[in-house]
Every structure is written in C-alpha cells, then in structure tokens.
C-alpha cells in the first residue's frame, strides 16, 4: 500500500496547510491561529470554511492558482461550493488591478 493511499487525511491536511501559508498574510492573525488549530485537529473542512469567509471579510486578493487550490480542496472534501464561489469576486479584483 502506498503512503498516499494509507493517509488521505494527511494529504488534505497538507494541502490545507499549504493554502493557509499562501494566504496567511491577508488574514487576521487570530484567524490564522484558529485555522491552524482546525487543521491540526483534522477539521480541514471547518478550516477551509473559516479561511474562505475571512478572506471575503478581509477583502483579500486571491490569485487564480489559490482559487484552484480552494476548489480542489472543496471537491476532495465534498464541501459546499459556496466556499469557492464567494472567492471569485476576489480574483476579479486581482484582474482589475492588473489592467
């Protein structure tokens, strides 16, 4: 059995942690700490929902690659697509700033 097949939750945790690292500078520090706690407790779905909500509240700028990472995690964990859809306007803001 491969390591990947043996621990899919570890893969999800790794992806969630990687996303948090990329987006941490745009989130309040208390949110970063809470999301880290959720990831450590294997509550990655809750962690992703918190990140998604707080990115919107913080009026963050999300790259297309970061949105794709969120989308992949939502798909893997079978979460509500609102976690992706609420971030789309933040990507549009990035497009508007570069033009």
Q: What is the pLDDT of residue 8?
A: 82
Contact between 27 and 53 under an 8 Å Cβ cutoff? The reply is no
Taking only the tens place, the pLDDT of each residue in 79-92 is: 999 999 999 999 96
* pLDDT value at residue 92: 61
Task: Give, in order, the Cα–Cα distances in Å from 67 to each of 3, 5, 61, 84, 92.
Answer: 27, 25, 10, 7, 11
Q: pLDDT tens, 2-54?
A: 444 435 889 999 999 999 999 999 999 999 999 999 999 999 999 999 999 99
* More reliable by pLDDT, 95 or 30: 30
- pTM confidence score: 0.82
Q: How many domains does the chain have?
A: 1
Domain range spanning residue 83? 3-98
Instruction: Output the CA–CA distances (angstroms, integers) from residue 78 to 8, 46, 73, 98, 99, in the order listed.
Output: 14, 12, 8, 33, 35
């Amino acid at each position: 059995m491969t390591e990947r097949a043996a621990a899919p939750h570890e893969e999800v945790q790794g992806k969630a942690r990687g996303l948090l690292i990329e987006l941490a500078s745009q989130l309040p520090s208390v949110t970063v700490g809470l999301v880290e706690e959720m990831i450590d407790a294997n509550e990655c779905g809750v962690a992703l929902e918190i990140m998604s909500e707080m990115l919107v509240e913080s009026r963050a700028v999300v790259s297309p690659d970061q949105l794709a990472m969120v989308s992949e995690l939502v798909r893997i964990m079978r979460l509500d697509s609102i976690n992706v859809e609420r971030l789309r306007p933040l990507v549009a803001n990035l497009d508007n700033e570069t033009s």
